[in-house]
A and B are shown apart, each in its own frame.
Chain A
Amino acid sequence: MLDPFSHPLNIDYLLRKKKSIRKDLLSHRQAEEKRIAILGGSTTSEVKDMLEIFLLNSGIKPEFYESAYNHYYEDAIFHNDELDKFKPDLIYIHTSAVNISDFPRFEDSADAIDSLLTSQIEKFKTIWDRIETGHSCPVIQNNFEQPYCRGLGNYDGYALHGRSRFISELNIRFGEEARLRANLHLNDINYLSAWVGLQRWYDKTQWYSYKYAMSISAIPFLADSVVSIINAIFGKTKKCLVLDLDNTLWGGVIGDDGLEGIQIGNETAQSEAYTEFQKYVKTLKSRGVILAACSKNDEESARQGFSHPDSILSVDDFSVFKANWSPKHQNILSISKSLNIGMDSLVFVDDNPAERDIVRNNEPQVTVPEMGNSVADYIGILDRSGLFEVISLSTEDARRSAFYSDNQTRESFRTRFESYDSYLRSLEMKADINKITPLYLDRVTQLTNKTNQFNVTTRRYTVLEMEKVARDDGCLTLYGRLHDKFGDNGLVSVMAGTIRGEVLDIDLWLMSCRVLKRGMELAMFDQFVLLAQEKRVKVIYGYYYPTSKNKIVSQLFSEIGFDQVSGSEGKNTVWKLDISLGWINKNSVIEVN
């Protein structure tokens, strides 16, 4: 049995076996709990059930609040004790075209239609505003699918009075709002329903009988799409695409067929398909997905494949390049180590079902999509999978692969030095470490939500929460950017603390793994102490909350000179540092500010 969650989704199996799938996932998966409120504009029961199994499959154990039927507006606008008490981590507003209360009438003037549009938008803006002030959690909002029927036929799509045009216009305005609101994310059911096909999307029997706005068979697609966004919000999207080469990035076997023999370019239908796939991969790379090659080949032949004049990708596009005869799961493990990212951040793409199977069985944390057996389907399967879903595009994302490639250069440079310190000094590192300003809020928040290893408390923040802390005089915040002779590492570290008289509690201390072992944590801490001293702080408390991923910082406070005051190994520990007699800077390798 293939994984029913792998694309194309096995809808029949998911619907029929939902209960046993749920039972199975609950007993096998380690999951992080999240509280999710579903505010529905139609029946949500099946939506909730499907969301649950898709979330469990992504390692999230949801607890749900479900609004009464079609009470999305009331629940968002008016005070609701039950929802307040529920304290959602995320709110999903499941509305659709059935919730558009007014459509243009044929006698309406252009102005009247425009104000109709505005009033529909205003209704939702009020909802989003209220949620922002009342719950300040991320919101996922459906946009609208095209209507079931078109009163004006083809003309409906562009006539001022057409329903389809009205819906398209609403979708554009929703997009404009979502671009302005950091906490609002659109679930594009307009695209999704088109992909599924409106004919399958709508089931009027189910609408009249049970008030389901879309067919039961379309709901797994919907859940899959929402869960991709939830994964992105909670930092669970994948970071690296590990690619096989022969018959994956080009047709044929480079070692046997030679450079002239492989299929790439636009000479044949097959070679065109491989070229398209390379272009798709290149797009992923240019928006921040790290690429790694993993091929059973001689290194030289493997590299030669990219010297083909029609190759879109070049060897430089890969942050790690593994071409040898070792088993692939071993190569993937070493890719994960050299990039310093978890195995659960990797996606492995290979045309060979046997290789996929070996990796799946040996490294179950790696995501291995069923790529099918035709290159023509590769893009569709990978694109539908939502594994690399993004909720915003920062300049950091676009530069990410460069950071990792730079790291590879640093690595080879390191082997030439006598002592580690002399290596660090040779990197000519310069850090900008300062209080968090509005400019950095997005990136800082993004880091709090996706940094799992170097993170002492693993506290997650929304943009709004972070903004509040950054503005609060009773709090200390710092961001750190690091630059060295190989390039800019970007904003890589964040600290936040709360002052209680002469005592300072460290609420958050995290650092991106791409700058591990560079002394950056010491530079950050020195600055933190400096600010604390300005606030007349005498004692600093550090807290370490163990998770399955942050063992790397379990001794961080001890290494800096804190004394342990409570807790024991494997449990939450509390650490204390007295700075009343002064502080000698620990960092000696990074030039700060």
Chain B
Amino acid sequence: MTKEEICRRLTEIFRDVFDSDLIELSRETVAADIEEWDSLNHIRLIVVIEKEFLIHLKLEELKTLKNVGDMLDLIERKIS
């Protein structure tokens, strides 16, 4: 899967979870950029990502995520 494809599917996830079609992601997007992206929604985001890409994210991996770029890299690493 290309990085663009991962990014497209991740954007879809964000749009579904936050119910907003206006969301556009960049590598620099952080929680503060999206209203409602709090710790409670973060966990659902993670669960939905795990289900979408059929991966399991470990405790140690989760704490390294600083922005969407980190997420994309982690997903890419896990599915390859």
Binding site for B on A (CB under 8 A): 12, 15-20, 23, 45-46, 205-206, 208-210, 212, 216-217
Count chain A CB atoms within 10 A of each CB in B18, B39, B43 and give the residue with the most. Answer: B43
Q: How far is the CB of A25 from chain B (nearest CB, A)?
A: 13
Contacting pair A46 B16 (CB below 8 A): no
Which chain B residue has the least Cβ–Cβ distance from A23? B19
- 1/0 contact trace for B27-48 toward A, CB 8 Å? 0000000000001100110011
Q: How many residues of B contact A (CB 8 A)?
A: 16
| Chain A to chain B contacts (Cβ below 8 Å), 10 pairs | A15-B44, A15-B47, A15-B51, A17-B19, A19-B17, A46-B40, A205-B58, A209-B62, A210-B40, A217-B51
Shortest beta-carbon distance, A4 to chain B, in Å?
Answer: 13
Whether B43 pairs with A15 at a CB distance below 8 angstroms is: no
Query: Which B residues, 26 to 80, have Cβ-Cβ distances below 8 Å to chain A?
Result: 39-40, 43-44, 47-48, 51, 57-59, 62
Least Cβ–Cβ distance between B78 and chain A, in angstroms? 14
Q: Given the complex, which residues of B lie within 8 Å of A18, measured CB to CB? A: 17, 44
Distance between Cα atoms of A15 and B52 in the complex (Å): 12
Decide yes or no whether B13 CB sits under 8 A from chain A: yes
Please give, as numbers and ranges, the residues of chain B lying within 8 Å of A208 by CB-CB distance.
Answer: 59
Bound CA span A224–B4, Å: 37
Residues of A within 8 A of B57 (CB): 205
In whole angstroms, what is the CA distance A15 to B57 when docked? Answer: 17
Given A15-B47, A205-B59, A45:B40 Cβ within 8 A: yes
Q: What is the interface of chain B mostly: helix, strand, loop, or mixed? A: helix
Residues of A within 8 A of B48 (CB): 12, 15-16
A152 to chain B, nearest CB (A): 27
Query: How many whole Å from A136's CB to the nearest CB in chain B?
Result: 32
Rounded to whole angstroms, the CA-CA distance of A216 and B43 in the bound complex is 8
Q: A16-B13, A19-B18, A23-B19 are in contact. Are A217 and B62 (CB under 8 A)?
A: no
Partner among A17, A23, A210 whose Cβ is within 8 Å of the Cβ of B39:
A210
Chain B proximity of A556: nearest CB distance (Å): 46
Interface string of B4-26 (1 = CB under 8 A from A): 00000000010011110000000
Closest residue of chain A to B17 (Cβ to Cβ) is A16
Provide the residues of chain A in CB contact with B47, threshold 8 Å.
15, 216-217
Q: How far is the CB of B53 from chain A (nearest CB, A)?
A: 12
Tell me, in angstroms, the Cα distance from A210 to B57 when the chains sit together. 14
- A20 adjacent to B19 (CB under 8 Å): yes
Contacts of A17 in B (CB 8 A): 16, 19
Within 8 Å by CB of B59, from A23, A46, A209, A217, lies: A209
Report the minimal beta-carbon distance from B66 to chain A, rounded to whole angstroms.
16
Residues of B within 8 A of A15 (CB): 44, 47-48, 51
Given the complex of chains A and B, what is the CA–CA distance between A19 and B40 in angstroms?
14
Q: Is B43 a contact of A209 with CB atoms below 8 Å?
A: yes
Find out whether the CB atom of A12 lies under 8 angstroms from the CB atom of B43.
Answer: no
Residue of B nearest to A20 (CB): B19
- Chain A residues whose CB sits within 8 angstroms of the CB of B19 once the complex forms: 17, 19-20, 23
Q: How far is the CB of B40 from chain A (nearest CB, A)?
A: 5
Alpha-carbon separation in the docked complex, A208 to B60 (Å): 11
Minimum CB–CB distance from B38 to chain A (whole Å) comes to 10
A212 cross-chain contacts in B, Cβ below 8 A: 43
Chain A contacts for B17, CB-based, 8 A: 16, 18-19
Determine if A210 and B51 form an interchain contact, defined as CB atoms under 8 angstroms apart.
Answer: no
Residue of A nearest to B36 (CB): A19
